[in-house]
Structure 1
Amino acid sequence: MADRGDKAVSAEGIAAAASKASGGGLPPVHLWDPPFCGDLDMEIRADGTWFYQGTPIGRPAMVRLFSTILKREGDRFFLVTPVEKVGIRVVDAPFVAVDADILPDAVTFVTNVGDRVTAGPDHPIALRGTADAPRPYVHVRAGLDALIDRKTFYRLAAAATEDAGRSGIRSGGAFFSLEP
Protein backbone atom coordinates (compact mmCIF):
# COMPACT_ATOMS: atom_id res chain seq x y z
CA MET A 1 0.00 0.00 0.00
CA ALA A 2 1.14 3.54 -0.66
CA ASP A 3 1.18 5.96 2.21
CA ARG A 4 -0.51 9.35 2.01
CA GLY A 5 0.49 10.87 5.28
CA ASP A 6 -2.16 9.74 7.72
CA LYS A 7 -4.04 7.44 5.33
CA ALA A 8 -2.88 4.39 3.41
CA VAL A 9 -3.82 4.30 -0.26
CA SER A 10 -5.17 0.95 -1.46
CA ALA A 11 -6.16 -0.44 -4.83
CA GLU A 12 -9.75 -0.52 -3.63
CA GLY A 13 -9.65 3.17 -2.68
CA ILE A 14 -8.13 4.11 -6.02
CA ALA A 15 -10.77 2.03 -7.83
CA ALA A 16 -13.60 3.71 -5.93
CA ALA A 17 -12.24 7.18 -6.73
CA ALA A 18 -11.68 6.23 -10.37
CA SER A 19 -15.20 4.91 -10.68
CA LYS A 20 -16.62 8.22 -9.45
CA ALA A 21 -14.33 10.25 -11.72
CA SER A 22 -14.78 8.30 -14.95
CA GLY A 23 -18.45 9.00 -15.63
CA GLY A 24 -18.56 6.16 -18.15
CA GLY A 25 -15.85 7.37 -20.55
CA LEU A 26 -12.13 7.84 -20.30
CA PRO A 27 -11.37 10.26 -17.48
CA PRO A 28 -9.28 13.33 -18.35
CA VAL A 29 -6.13 12.04 -16.60
CA HIS A 30 -4.00 14.39 -18.70
CA LEU A 31 -5.61 17.31 -16.82
CA TRP A 32 -5.04 15.85 -13.35
CA ASP A 33 -1.89 16.61 -11.37
CA PRO A 34 -2.66 15.45 -7.83
CA PRO A 35 0.01 14.98 -5.18
CA PHE A 36 2.13 11.83 -5.34
CA CYS A 37 1.05 9.45 -2.59
CA GLY A 38 3.75 6.78 -2.99
CA ASP A 39 4.06 3.53 -4.86
CA LEU A 40 1.37 0.87 -4.87
CA ASP A 41 2.35 -2.81 -5.02
CA MET A 42 0.80 -3.19 -8.45
CA GLU A 43 2.43 -4.48 -11.61
CA ILE A 44 1.43 -4.99 -15.22
CA ARG A 45 3.40 -7.96 -16.57
CA ALA A 46 4.63 -8.28 -20.15
CA ASP A 47 1.69 -10.54 -21.03
CA GLY A 48 -0.78 -7.81 -19.95
CA THR A 49 -1.75 -9.46 -16.63
CA TRP A 50 -2.30 -6.99 -13.79
CA PHE A 51 -1.08 -8.01 -10.32
CA TYR A 52 -1.85 -6.45 -6.94
CA GLN A 53 0.32 -7.47 -3.97
CA GLY A 54 1.69 -10.41 -5.99
CA THR A 55 -1.74 -11.80 -6.93
CA PRO A 56 -3.34 -11.53 -10.39
CA ILE A 57 -6.35 -9.23 -10.49
CA GLY A 58 -9.04 -11.67 -11.59
CA ARG A 59 -11.86 -9.21 -12.21
CA PRO A 60 -11.70 -7.90 -15.80
CA ALA A 61 -13.94 -4.93 -14.88
CA MET A 62 -11.45 -3.88 -12.19
CA VAL A 63 -8.51 -4.13 -14.62
CA ARG A 64 -10.47 -2.09 -17.19
CA LEU A 65 -11.23 0.54 -14.56
CA PHE A 66 -7.58 0.81 -13.54
CA SER A 67 -6.55 1.02 -17.21
CA THR A 68 -8.69 4.15 -17.64
CA ILE A 69 -6.76 6.04 -14.95
CA LEU A 70 -3.30 4.98 -16.07
CA LYS A 71 -0.92 7.82 -16.84
CA ARG A 72 2.67 7.89 -18.04
CA GLU A 73 5.15 10.56 -17.00
CA GLY A 74 8.56 9.98 -18.55
CA ASP A 75 9.50 6.36 -17.85
CA ARG A 76 7.13 6.00 -14.88
CA PHE A 77 3.52 4.88 -14.75
CA PHE A 78 0.86 6.05 -12.30
CA LEU A 79 -2.76 5.47 -11.42
CA VAL A 80 -4.28 8.92 -10.96
CA THR A 81 -7.53 10.32 -9.67
CA PRO A 82 -8.34 13.99 -9.18
CA VAL A 83 -6.93 13.80 -5.62
CA GLU A 84 -4.16 11.18 -5.58
CA LYS A 85 -1.42 9.65 -7.70
CA VAL A 86 0.29 6.33 -7.00
CA GLY A 87 3.17 4.72 -8.86
CA ILE A 88 2.89 1.24 -10.34
CA ARG A 89 5.33 -1.00 -12.23
CA VAL A 90 4.93 -1.83 -15.91
CA VAL A 91 7.25 -4.56 -17.21
CA ASP A 92 6.87 -3.80 -20.93
CA ALA A 93 3.81 -2.04 -22.36
CA PRO A 94 0.71 -1.48 -20.23
CA PHE A 95 -1.60 -3.05 -22.81
CA VAL A 96 -1.60 -5.95 -25.27
CA ALA A 97 -3.26 -5.75 -28.69
CA VAL A 98 -5.04 -9.11 -28.78
CA ASP A 99 -6.92 -8.78 -32.07
CA ALA A 100 -7.29 -6.55 -35.11
CA ASP A 101 -9.79 -5.83 -37.86
CA ILE A 102 -7.56 -5.66 -40.94
CA LEU A 103 -8.97 -3.79 -43.93
CA PRO A 104 -7.01 -2.60 -46.99
CA ASP A 105 -6.70 0.96 -45.61
CA ALA A 106 -7.40 0.62 -41.88
CA VAL A 107 -6.20 -1.64 -39.10
CA THR A 108 -8.23 -1.37 -35.89
CA PHE A 109 -6.72 -3.08 -32.86
CA VAL A 110 -8.55 -4.34 -29.78
CA THR A 111 -6.57 -4.41 -26.54
CA ASN A 112 -6.79 -6.75 -23.59
CA VAL A 113 -8.71 -4.04 -21.70
CA GLY A 114 -11.24 -3.39 -24.46
CA ASP A 115 -9.77 -0.27 -26.07
CA ARG A 116 -10.19 0.02 -29.84
CA VAL A 117 -7.62 2.03 -31.76
CA THR A 118 -7.10 2.46 -35.50
CA ALA A 119 -3.46 2.71 -36.53
CA GLY A 120 -2.54 6.00 -38.19
CA PRO A 121 -0.37 9.07 -37.64
CA ASP A 122 -1.73 9.55 -34.08
CA HIS A 123 -1.59 5.81 -33.35
CA PRO A 124 1.56 4.54 -35.09
CA ILE A 125 2.75 0.96 -35.26
CA ALA A 126 6.39 0.68 -34.22
CA LEU A 127 8.88 -2.17 -34.07
CA ARG A 128 11.30 -2.29 -31.15
CA GLY A 129 13.73 -4.92 -30.02
CA THR A 130 16.28 -6.49 -32.31
CA ALA A 131 16.24 -7.82 -35.86
CA ASP A 132 16.21 -11.34 -34.41
CA ALA A 133 13.50 -10.57 -31.85
CA PRO A 134 11.37 -7.63 -33.03
CA ARG A 135 8.58 -6.50 -30.72
CA PRO A 136 5.65 -4.71 -32.44
CA TYR A 137 3.62 -2.03 -30.65
CA VAL A 138 0.74 0.30 -31.42
CA HIS A 139 0.26 3.62 -29.64
CA VAL A 140 -3.06 3.63 -27.75
CA ARG A 141 -3.22 6.99 -25.97
CA ALA A 142 -1.12 9.61 -24.16
CA GLY A 143 2.19 7.74 -24.14
CA LEU A 144 0.58 4.35 -23.51
CA ASP A 145 1.37 1.56 -25.97
CA ALA A 146 0.08 -1.95 -26.57
CA LEU A 147 2.35 -4.82 -27.46
CA ILE A 148 0.85 -6.51 -30.53
CA ASP A 149 0.50 -10.19 -29.64
CA ARG A 150 2.09 -12.85 -31.84
CA LYS A 151 -1.07 -14.13 -33.56
CA THR A 152 -2.18 -10.58 -34.44
CA PHE A 153 1.27 -9.69 -35.74
CA TYR A 154 1.27 -12.81 -37.94
CA ARG A 155 -2.10 -11.74 -39.32
CA LEU A 156 -0.65 -8.28 -40.08
CA ALA A 157 2.32 -9.90 -41.82
CA ALA A 158 0.00 -12.07 -43.92
CA ALA A 159 -1.92 -8.95 -45.02
CA ALA A 160 1.23 -6.88 -45.66
CA THR A 161 1.97 -5.15 -48.95
CA GLU A 162 5.18 -3.73 -50.39
CA ASP A 163 6.04 -0.02 -50.34
CA ALA A 164 9.46 1.26 -51.40
CA GLY A 165 10.86 -2.24 -51.02
CA ARG A 166 9.57 -2.71 -47.49
CA SER A 167 6.82 -5.00 -46.28
CA GLY A 168 4.15 -3.32 -44.18
CA ILE A 169 0.59 -2.25 -43.52
CA ARG A 170 -1.38 0.84 -44.59
CA SER A 171 -3.76 2.38 -42.09
CA GLY A 172 -5.12 5.84 -41.51
CA GLY A 173 -3.26 7.23 -44.53
CA ALA A 174 0.15 6.05 -43.30
CA PHE A 175 2.43 3.12 -44.12
CA PHE A 176 3.92 1.15 -41.25
CA SER A 177 6.84 -1.14 -41.98
CA LEU A 178 6.61 -4.56 -40.39
CA GLU A 179 10.33 -5.16 -40.85
CA PRO A 180 12.94 -4.33 -38.22
Structure 2
Amino acid sequence: MAEPLFQQLQQLQREFRGHPPVHKWNPDLCGDMDMVIRRDGRWVHEGTEIRRQPLVKLFASILKREGDEYFLVTPVEKMRILVEDVPFVATQVARGSEGGTECLLFTTNTGDVVPLKRKSDWQLKPFGDPPQPVPYIEVRDGLQARVSREVFYQLVNWAEEGSEQPEAHGKLWLHSDGKEFLLGTY
Protein backbone atom coordinates (compact mmCIF):
# COMPACT_ATOMS: atom_id res chain seq x y z
CA MET A 1 0.00 0.00 0.00
CA ALA A 2 2.87 2.42 0.73
CA GLU A 3 4.45 1.75 -2.67
CA PRO A 4 1.56 3.24 -4.75
CA LEU A 5 1.57 6.34 -2.50
CA PHE A 6 5.32 6.66 -2.97
CA GLN A 7 4.92 6.42 -6.74
CA GLN A 8 2.13 9.05 -6.71
CA LEU A 9 4.34 11.42 -4.71
CA GLN A 10 7.20 10.89 -7.16
CA GLN A 11 4.84 11.72 -10.03
CA LEU A 12 3.66 14.90 -8.27
CA GLN A 13 7.27 15.89 -7.73
CA ARG A 14 8.00 15.53 -11.45
CA GLU A 15 4.84 17.39 -12.53
CA PHE A 16 5.14 20.35 -10.16
CA ARG A 17 8.87 20.83 -10.25
CA GLY A 18 8.42 24.25 -11.78
CA HIS A 19 8.69 27.07 -9.29
CA PRO A 20 9.30 30.60 -10.55
CA PRO A 21 13.05 31.32 -10.87
CA VAL A 22 13.13 33.60 -7.80
CA HIS A 23 16.85 32.89 -7.36
CA LYS A 24 17.40 34.90 -10.56
CA TRP A 25 15.23 37.84 -9.51
CA ASN A 26 17.04 40.64 -7.69
CA PRO A 27 14.82 43.72 -7.60
CA ASP A 28 15.40 46.52 -5.10
CA LEU A 29 13.74 46.22 -1.70
CA CYS A 30 10.29 47.85 -1.74
CA GLY A 31 9.77 47.61 2.03
CA ASP A 32 8.38 45.35 4.71
CA MET A 33 5.09 43.47 4.39
CA ASP A 34 2.99 42.69 7.46
CA MET A 35 3.21 38.96 6.86
CA VAL A 36 4.49 36.30 9.24
CA ILE A 37 5.08 32.59 8.74
CA ARG A 38 4.45 31.17 12.21
CA ARG A 39 6.47 28.34 13.77
CA ASP A 40 3.58 25.95 13.11
CA GLY A 41 3.54 26.75 9.37
CA ARG A 42 0.56 29.14 9.38
CA TRP A 43 0.82 32.18 7.13
CA VAL A 44 -0.56 35.35 8.75
CA HIS A 45 -1.16 38.64 6.90
CA GLU A 46 -1.99 41.80 8.87
CA GLY A 47 -2.92 39.67 11.89
CA THR A 48 -5.27 37.34 10.00
CA GLU A 49 -4.39 33.77 9.05
CA ILE A 50 -4.48 33.08 5.32
CA ARG A 51 -6.81 30.09 5.08
CA ARG A 52 -6.95 29.76 1.30
CA GLN A 53 -4.33 27.11 0.53
CA PRO A 54 -3.91 28.16 -3.14
CA LEU A 55 -2.96 31.65 -1.94
CA VAL A 56 -0.45 30.24 0.57
CA LYS A 57 1.03 28.08 -2.21
CA LEU A 58 1.30 31.12 -4.47
CA PHE A 59 3.14 33.12 -1.82
CA ALA A 60 5.37 30.12 -1.03
CA SER A 61 6.31 29.84 -4.71
CA ILE A 62 7.76 33.39 -4.72
CA LEU A 63 9.54 33.11 -1.37
CA LYS A 64 13.27 33.79 -1.33
CA ARG A 65 15.85 33.64 1.43
CA GLU A 66 18.85 35.96 1.62
CA GLY A 67 21.02 35.30 4.67
CA ASP A 68 18.66 35.18 7.65
CA GLU A 69 15.94 37.23 5.96
CA TYR A 70 12.98 36.17 3.81
CA PHE A 71 11.33 38.02 0.95
CA LEU A 72 8.41 37.67 -1.43
CA VAL A 73 9.81 38.58 -4.82
CA THR A 74 8.67 39.16 -8.36
CA PRO A 75 10.91 40.34 -11.20
CA VAL A 76 10.21 43.96 -10.16
CA GLU A 77 9.26 43.89 -6.43
CA LYS A 78 10.82 42.61 -3.22
CA MET A 79 9.00 42.70 0.12
CA ARG A 80 10.57 41.51 3.39
CA ILE A 81 8.45 39.21 5.58
CA LEU A 82 9.02 37.64 9.00
CA VAL A 83 9.59 33.90 9.42
CA GLU A 84 9.55 32.71 13.04
CA ASP A 85 11.49 29.48 12.41
CA VAL A 86 11.57 28.18 8.83
CA PRO A 87 8.94 28.66 6.11
CA PHE A 88 7.82 25.05 5.74
CA VAL A 89 6.82 22.07 7.86
CA ALA A 90 7.25 18.50 6.62
CA THR A 91 3.81 17.06 7.38
CA GLN A 92 4.08 13.66 5.65
CA VAL A 93 6.74 11.12 4.76
CA ALA A 94 6.66 8.07 2.51
CA ARG A 95 9.29 5.52 1.73
CA GLY A 96 9.82 3.27 -1.18
CA SER A 97 12.52 2.22 -3.56
CA GLU A 98 13.93 4.01 -6.55
CA GLY A 99 16.16 1.89 -8.73
CA GLY A 100 16.50 -0.68 -5.93
CA THR A 101 17.61 1.93 -3.38
CA GLU A 102 15.39 2.96 -0.47
CA CYS A 103 14.36 6.61 -0.62
CA LEU A 104 12.31 8.86 1.67
CA LEU A 105 9.96 11.51 0.27
CA PHE A 106 8.74 14.35 2.48
CA THR A 107 5.66 16.45 1.71
CA THR A 108 5.45 19.97 3.13
CA ASN A 109 2.46 21.93 4.37
CA THR A 110 2.44 23.73 0.99
CA GLY A 111 2.52 20.55 -1.10
CA ASP A 112 6.21 20.48 -2.06
CA VAL A 113 7.52 16.92 -2.36
CA VAL A 114 11.14 16.71 -1.26
CA PRO A 115 13.28 13.57 -1.67
CA LEU A 116 15.96 12.90 0.92
CA LYS A 117 18.92 12.47 -1.44
CA ARG A 118 22.64 11.98 -0.87
CA LYS A 119 23.32 15.71 -1.33
CA SER A 120 20.28 16.91 0.64
CA ASP A 121 20.86 19.48 3.34
CA TRP A 122 19.64 17.52 6.40
CA GLN A 123 20.34 19.08 9.80
CA LEU A 124 19.43 18.56 13.43
CA LYS A 125 18.73 21.94 15.05
CA PRO A 126 17.29 22.91 18.45
CA PHE A 127 13.54 23.60 18.51
CA GLY A 128 10.88 23.96 21.21
CA ASP A 129 10.92 24.66 24.91
CA PRO A 130 13.07 23.15 26.22
CA PRO A 131 15.06 22.98 22.97
CA GLN A 132 15.42 19.49 21.51
CA PRO A 133 17.26 18.50 18.32
CA VAL A 134 14.76 18.31 15.47
CA PRO A 135 15.45 17.40 11.80
CA TYR A 136 15.27 20.05 9.09
CA ILE A 137 15.49 19.39 5.35
CA GLU A 138 16.14 21.85 2.55
CA VAL A 139 13.13 22.23 0.26
CA ARG A 140 14.79 24.44 -2.35
CA ASP A 141 17.27 27.31 -2.66
CA GLY A 142 18.08 27.54 1.06
CA LEU A 143 14.43 27.31 2.16
CA GLN A 144 14.00 24.67 4.84
CA ALA A 145 11.21 22.57 6.32
CA ARG A 146 11.13 21.42 9.91
CA VAL A 147 10.02 17.82 10.33
CA SER A 148 6.71 17.76 12.23
CA ARG A 149 6.32 15.74 15.40
CA GLU A 150 4.09 13.18 13.66
CA VAL A 151 6.62 12.69 10.85
CA PHE A 152 9.45 12.48 13.38
CA TYR A 153 7.70 9.61 15.19
CA GLN A 154 7.24 7.80 11.87
CA LEU A 155 10.94 8.26 11.15
CA VAL A 156 11.85 6.87 14.58
CA ASN A 157 9.92 3.71 13.66
CA TRP A 158 11.96 3.38 10.47
CA ALA A 159 15.33 4.35 11.98
CA GLU A 160 18.07 1.87 12.78
CA GLU A 161 20.64 1.89 15.53
CA GLY A 162 24.20 2.80 14.68
CA SER A 163 26.74 0.27 13.58
CA GLU A 164 29.36 -1.34 15.79
CA GLN A 165 31.67 1.64 15.37
CA PRO A 166 32.04 3.52 18.69
CA GLU A 167 31.11 6.91 17.20
CA ALA A 168 27.79 5.48 15.91
CA HIS A 169 26.74 3.96 19.26
CA GLY A 170 23.63 5.49 20.79
CA LYS A 171 22.50 7.11 17.54
CA LEU A 172 19.52 6.49 15.26
CA TRP A 173 20.03 6.59 11.51
CA LEU A 174 17.73 6.84 8.50
CA HIS A 175 18.63 5.31 5.15
CA SER A 176 17.71 7.14 1.98
CA ASP A 177 19.31 7.18 -1.47
CA GLY A 178 22.10 4.89 -0.25
CA LYS A 179 23.22 7.25 2.53
CA GLU A 180 22.75 7.34 6.30
CA PHE A 181 21.21 10.45 7.85
CA LEU A 182 21.38 11.07 11.60
CA LEU A 183 17.93 11.22 13.20
CA GLY A 184 19.07 11.65 16.77
CA THR A 185 20.72 10.15 19.80
CA TYR A 186 19.31 8.08 22.62
Q: Does 1:98 align with 2:91?
A: yes
* CA offsets 1:123-168 (integer angstroms, 9 cap, x no match): 2321111796122211111110001000100100100023433311
Code of the aligned partner of 1:63: V
- Distance (whole Å) between structure 1 residues aligned to residue 95 and residue 73 of structure 2: 34
Deviation at residue 102 of structure 1 after TM alignment: 2.2
For residue 39 of structure 1, what is the aligned residue in structure 2? Answer: 32
Bigger mean CA deviation after superposition, 97-106 or 87-96: 97-106
For residue 126 of structure 1, what is the aligned residue in structure 2? Answer: 123
For residue 54 of structure 1, what is the aligned residue in structure 2? Answer: 47
Q: 2:69 aligns with which of 55, 71, 76?
A: 76
Unaligned runs of 5+ in 1: 1-23
Q: Does 1:170 align with 2:167?
A: no
Size of the aligned set, in residue pairs, is 157
- Distance (whole Å) between structure 1 residues aligned to residue 69 and residue 180 of structure 2: 30
Code of the aligned partner of 1:152: V
Q: Does 1:25 align with 2:18?
A: yes
- Distance (whole Å) between structure 1 residues aligned to residue 54 and residue 18 of structure 2: 14
Code of the aligned partner of 1:139: E
For residue 14 of structure 2, what is the aligned residue in structure 1? Answer: none
- The answer to whether the Cα contact below 8 Å between 1:39 and 1:88 also exists between their aligned partners in 2 is yes
- Distance (whole Å) between structure 2 residues aligned to residue 152 and residue 44 of structure 1: 20
Q: Does 1:158 align with 2:151?
A: no
- The answer to whether the Cα contact below 8 Å between 1:35 and 1:84 also exists between their aligned partners in 2 is yes
Code of the aligned partner of 1:96: V
* CA offsets 1:74-110 (integer angstroms, 9 cap, x no match): 0000000000000000000100000000237211000
Runs of 4 or more, structure 1, over 6 Å off, are none
Unaligned runs of 5+ in 2: 1-16
Provide the aligned C-alpha RMSD in A.
1.8
For residue 15 of structure 1, what is the aligned residue in structure 2? Answer: none
Q: 1:115 aligns with which of 105, 112, 124?
A: 112
- Distance (whole Å) between structure 2 residues aligned to residue 149 and residue 97 of structure 1: 6
- The answer to whether the Cα contact below 8 Å between 1:117 and 1:123 also exists between their aligned partners in 2 is no
* CA offsets 1:25-65 (integer angstroms, 9 cap, x no match): 30000110011100100000000000000100011000000
- Distance (whole Å) between structure 2 residues aligned to residue 176 and residue 35 of structure 1: 39
For residue 14 of structure 1, what is the aligned residue in structure 2? Answer: none
TM-score, normalised to structure 2, is 0.79
